[in-house]
Chains A and B, each alone.
Chain A
Amino acid sequence: MEALILEPSLYTVKAVIILDNDGERLFAKYYDGSYPSTKEQRVFEKNIFSKTQRSDSEIALLEGLTVVYRSSIDLYFYVIGSPYENELMLTAVLNCLFDSLSQMLRKNVEKRALLENMEGLFLAVDEIVDGGVVLESDPQQVVHRVAVRGEDVPLTEQTVSQVLQAAKEQIKWTLLR
C-alpha cells in the first residue's frame, strides 16, 4: 500500500522533451535530478525514442518512469513523471503543450515550423510547467500569455507596401541615433 501512495506534492512533472524524427533532441527540460548530466539525458532520450517510435499508444512505463507521449508529423513530444503519478495530469500537460504549439504554429506542428518559432516554444513551456509544477493547463491561456508578436512573415510573402513600411521604420531609427 505504501508504494501506491505518492507523497502529495505539487511537483508532478519530471521532464518535458521534444525529439525529431531521428530521435535528436530539439528541446528538453529536466526538472528534477533524475538524469543529472547531459550524457545520461541523451541516453534516456534515445531509449524512450526507440521504445515509442513505432508504437501507437500514448503511454508507457519506461526505466521506472511514466512516459506519456504524442507525435505529430515529424515531432515527438514527451512528458515524464513518476511511476505513481496521475497519468491524466501528465497527459493534460502534454495536450496543453501540444495544443498551444498547434495554435502558435497555425496547426503546422512540424519540425521546421517549430524551429522557426523556438521563442514561442520556450515561452510556452515556461508558462505550462514551472520547476516541475504544472502552472497552467488551458492552452488558450498559454497562448494568450505567450503573446509572441505576430508570426514571422517571410520576406517574399510580405506585400511591397509592408516591406517599404518596415524599411521606413528602420531608417527613422537610424537617423535618430
Chain B
Amino acid sequence: MLALFLKRGHGGGSNPFQHLEKSAVLQEARVFNETPINPRKCAHILTKILYLINQGEHLGVMEATESFFAMTKLFQSNDPTLRRMCYLTIKEMSSIAEDVIIVTSSLTKDMTGKDDNYRGPAVRALCQITDSTMLQAIERYMKQAIVDKVPSVSSSALVSSLHLLKTSYDVVKRWVNEAQEAASSDNIMVQYHALGLLYHVRKNDRLAVNKMLSKFTRHGLKSPFAYCMMIRVASKLLEEEAGQLLLSLKISMQLLLCSYEGCFRAISTLPSLIATLAITTLLKTGSESSIDRLMKQISSFMSEISDEFKVVVVQAINALCQKYPRKHAVLMNFLFTMLREEGGFEYKRAIVDCIISIIEENSESKETGLSHLCEFIEDCEFTVLATRILHLLGQEGPKTNNPSKYIRFIYNRVVLEHEEVRAGAVSALAKFGAQNEEMLPSILVLLKRCVMDDDNEVRDRATFYLNVLEQKQKALNAGYILNGLTVSIPGLERALHQYTLEPSEKPFDLKSVPLATAPNAPVAVVKQPEKVAATRQEIFQEQLGAIPEFRGLGPLFKSSPEPVALTELETEYVVRCTKHTFVSHMVFQFDCTNTLNDQILENVTVQMEPTEGYEVIGYIPAKTLVYNQPGTCYTLVALSEEDPTAVACTFSCMMKFTVKDCDPNTGETDDEGYEDEYVLEDLEVTVADHIQRVLKPNFGAAWDEVGDEYEKEETFTLSAIKTLEGEGVSELLTFLLAPFRSLTGRLLGQSCSYCDNKLAQASKTQKSIPSPMGTRLDCGRQESILHSTVSGRQTFPEAFQIPPEDLCLLQDVSFLVHPP
C-alpha cells in the first residue's frame, strides 16, 4: 500500500503526462473495478484519459465504451473531485462511447440531491447525454433547476437548455416561464443566461423580442454581460425594422448605456478615441441623477486624452448643461477644474464658451461663474480669452449684487497685461461706471490713470470713456458705452468709403448707414474673416442702386425678410413680392416665373391700385419671361405726402404683359403677340414694413436714453383678464403688439419678469388700476396708431414694458417719414 504513495513523486521539470500511451492508460482504468475505490488514484487516471483526449488522441468506440462502463463504478465513491472528474469524462466520451445513457439515473439523483456542488455539473453532464425522448422524462427536474436558488444550478440548467434548443426546440420552448423568472435574478450570470435563452427561443418573433427588451431595460439590468447582449439584440432589431421600433429602442439604449457600470471600467482600457466616444455617448444620454457620478469618473480620465478629444468632451458637457440646467453647479465645478489644468488654446476656449453659455442661460450660476472666470483671467496666457471674459464681466458684472468685487480683477488686468487685454479692461471698467452711480467716482479715478498708458488704443479708449462718463448723462452712457454700434459694420465701411470718394460739405451722417440686423461680432474675434460677407440688405441695395430710376430714393431702410407669394405654387405664373422701404418711397420687387412652356411673356409689369394714401409713380418692366426662368419687375410707389401716418394700405395687383406663343421644342416664337393680364392676390403693406429692429443689448440704458418725450400714459380697466401675472401679461403683449407681429414673432407670449413684477405691485393696490402705459414707441406717427387701436372696445393691457432684447425701438422720425 505504501508503494502507492511512493509512486506519486514530483516529476521534476518534466511533464508527467509526456510519455503517456493510450493503451497503457486505458489498461489502468481497470482499477476502477476494484473496491474500495481509491479516489485519488482513480481521479488521476481519469485525468490522464482526459489529457490524452485533449491532446487529440483518438479513442475507438470499443475502448471508449469499455472505459466508460468502468468509470460508472466510480459513482460509488463520494469523493467530490472524483465525482466531478466523472462528470467531465461522461461529457468527453458522450460522443464516442455507446449506451452512455445508463448513467442517467445516477446523474438525475445527483441533480436533485443535497450536495449543491454536484448539482450544477450533474445537470450539464446529463443534458449532454440526453436526447429528445429522454428529455421529456427529466423535464420536471430541468424546470426546477432553472428556477433554483443556487446560482450555479440555475446557470447550468439555463445553459444546458440553450444547447438543447438545437435538438429539442419544442421541449425547451415550454420552459420560457421558468427562464423568465430566472431573468429577474440578482446574480449577473443567471440573468445573462436567462435572457440569452429567452432571446434564442424567441428570436424569430420580433414583437416578443421587443417586449422583452423594453421590459428588462425598464427594470434595469444588473449584469454587464446581459447588457452587451441586449445592446446587440437592440441593434439587430434596429437593423431589421428601423422605423417602428426606433423610438422605444432609443429609450432602451439610453437606459442601457446610462447604467452600465462596466462601461467605466472599460474606458480605462480602450484606446483614447473610442473611450472619448464612449464618454460623449454617456454624457449625451446621461440622466439628471447620474451626472454627479459621471463627472467623478470622467475627471480622472480627462488627463489621459489629447486636446482634440477633450474639446469633444467639453462640447458634450455643454449639451448636457442645456438639458439639465439645475445641475449647473456640478458641471461648472468640473469645468473649472479642467480649466485650471494644462491645455491648449482650443481646449480652453471650448471650456470658456461652455461656461459663458451656462452663465447666460442660468442666472443662478452667474455669481459663481463670474468669480471663477475672474480667477482664471489672473493667470490666463491667451489674450483672446482674457478679453472675451473682460467683455462679459463688463456686461454682466454691473448687474450683480456686489459689482465692486470685480473691479479689482479688472483693474489688475489694466496694470499687468498686454495692450489688447488692457484695452478690454478699460472698456469693461467704463461699463461699470456707466451703470453704477456709486462706483462712478472710483471708476473715474481709475480711468484717469489709464490715460497715461503706453498704448494708443488704451489711451484713446480711456480718454473717450472718461469724457463721456464725466458728462453724467444717461443717454450718452447708453449710446456710447453700453450699446455700441448699431449699424452694420460692412455697411459702415462702404458708406465711409463712398463719403471719401465724393467730398461734401455736410458731415458724415451715420444715419445713412443701414442698421445691423444681426448682432455684430463680439469684442474679441478669434479668426478675422478674409472678406466680410455681404448681407442680404446690401445685395438688395446694390441691385436697386443699379436701376437709374431708383437712384434718387436715398438709402434703403428695410426689405421685407421673406418674399410674399401673390399666387399659388401651381399656377401658370408664379409671382412673389419683396417690399423695399425707402425714406419716402417704397419699391415692390416682383419675382415672376412663367411655368408654361408654350408661351413667352414680354414687357411684364405689375399694376397696383392702392386703397389710400400711396401714389404709384412708375413701373420698371421685366423684358421677357422665358419658360421657367424667373425675371424681375419693379413698381415704384410714393408715400403719402399729406398724411404721414397712413402707412398701412392694401394694393390690388394685376400682372400685365404681352403674350407670344412659342413652340416648346424649337423655342421659336411668333412675331405677333397679344396683350393679356393676370390677376394676383392683394398685397398688404403694414406698419411693420416701416419698422426695423434695432438691437439694444442693454435695454435699461436704451430705455432711459429715449427720455420722457415720447412717453404715453393711459388708464385702462381690465375686465376680461382674470389674473395679471403670466397669462395676463401675454394677452397684453399679444394685443398691443399685433401691428408688429411680423417683427416680433418670438416676442408674443413670452413672459417678462419685469412686467410680472410691475403688475404684481400694481395689483396690490386697486382693482381698476391706473398706471403708466410704458409703451415706448418713440415715433410721432405711432401715437396715432395707438389711438386707433385703443379706441376699440376690448380689454386693454395694462402697465407693461416690451421685454428686452427684442425691443423694437424705432429710429428717429426723419428716417421713416416726413417730420410731422
Partner of A123 from B88, B156, B200, B225 at Cβ < 8 Å = B88
Q: Are B88 and A126 in touch, CB under 8 angstroms?
A: yes
- Which chain A positions have C-beta within 8 A of B266? 88
Known: A137-B189, A171-B1, A174-B1. A38 touches B56 (CB 8 A): yes
* Dominant secondary structure of chain B at its interface with chain A: helix
Known: A10-B229, A119-B43, A173-B36. A135 touches B1 (CB 8 A): no
- Which chain B positions have C-beta within 8 A of A136? 152, 155, 189
Partner of A118 from B2, B47, B159, B199 at Cβ < 8 Å = B47
A7 contacts partner chain B, Cβ-Cβ < 8 Å = yes
- Which chain B positions have C-beta within 8 A of A155? 5-6, 8-9
B232 contacts partner chain A, Cβ-Cβ < 8 Å = yes
Pick the interface stretch among A46-54, A101-109, A143-151: A143-151
Q: Are B236 and A5 in touch, CB under 8 angstroms?
A: yes
Pick the interface stretch among B117-125, B248-256, B287-295, B369-377: B117-125
- Which chain A positions have C-beta within 8 A of B196? 9-10, 133
A72 to B197, CA, bound (A): 36
Q: Mark A137-168, 1 if CB is under 8 A from B, else 0.
A: 10001000111110010110000000100110
A115 contacts partner chain B, Cβ-Cβ < 8 Å = yes
How many Å from the CB of B794 to the closest CB on chain A? 60
Q: Mark A13-37, 1 if CB is under 8 A from B, else 0.
A: 0000000000001011100000000
How many Å from the CB of B89 to the closest CB on chain A? 10
Closest B residue to A163 by beta carbon equals B5
Q: Are B81 and A115 in touch, CB under 8 angstroms?
A: no
Q: Are B16 and A116 in touch, CB under 8 angstroms?
A: yes
Closest A residue to B237 by beta carbon equals A8
B391 contacts partner chain A, Cβ-Cβ < 8 Å = no
Q: Mark B208-249, 1 if CB is under 8 A from A, else 0.
A: 000000000000000001001100110110010000000000
Known: A149-B81, A154-B10. A166 touches B5 (CB 8 A): yes
Q: Are A130 and B159 in touch, CB under 8 angstroms?
A: yes
B13 contacts partner chain A, Cβ-Cβ < 8 Å = yes
A87 to B4, CA, bound (A): 47
76-106 of chain A: CB within 8 A of chain B: 86, 88-89
Q: Are A135 and B51 in touch, CB under 8 angstroms?
A: no
Closest A residue to B199 by beta carbon equals A8
Closest B residue to A84 by beta carbon equals B232
How many Å from the CB of B546 to the closest CB on chain A? 53
B55 contacts partner chain A, Cβ-Cβ < 8 Å = yes
How many Å from the CB of A79 to the closest CB on chain B? 15
Partner of A167 from B1, B80, B155, B199 at Cβ < 8 Å = B1
Known: A122-B47, A145-B152, A177-B35. A10 touches B159 (CB 8 A): yes
A135 to B123, CA, bound (A): 13
Closest A residue to B121 by beta carbon equals A126
B321 contacts partner chain A, Cβ-Cβ < 8 Å = no
How many Å from the CB of B121 to the closest CB on chain A? 7
A73 contacts partner chain B, Cβ-Cβ < 8 Å = no
Closest 8 CB pairs between A and B? A38-B56, A10-B196, A8-B232, A8-B233, A170-B1, A118-B47, A119-B47, A133-B159
**15 A/B residue pairs, CB under 8 Å, sorted by A:** A8-B236, A10-B192, A27-B54, A112-B11, A119-B43, A122-B88, A123-B88, A133-B159, A133-B162, A145-B152, A147-B80, A166-B5, A167-B2, A167-B5, A170-B1
Residues of chain A at the chain B interface (Cβ within 8 Å): 1-2, 5-10, 25, 27-29, 38, 41-42, 86, 88-89, 111-112, 115-116, 118-119, 122-123, 126, 130-131, 133-137, 141, 145-149, 152, 154-155, 163, 166-167, 170-171, 173-174, 176-177
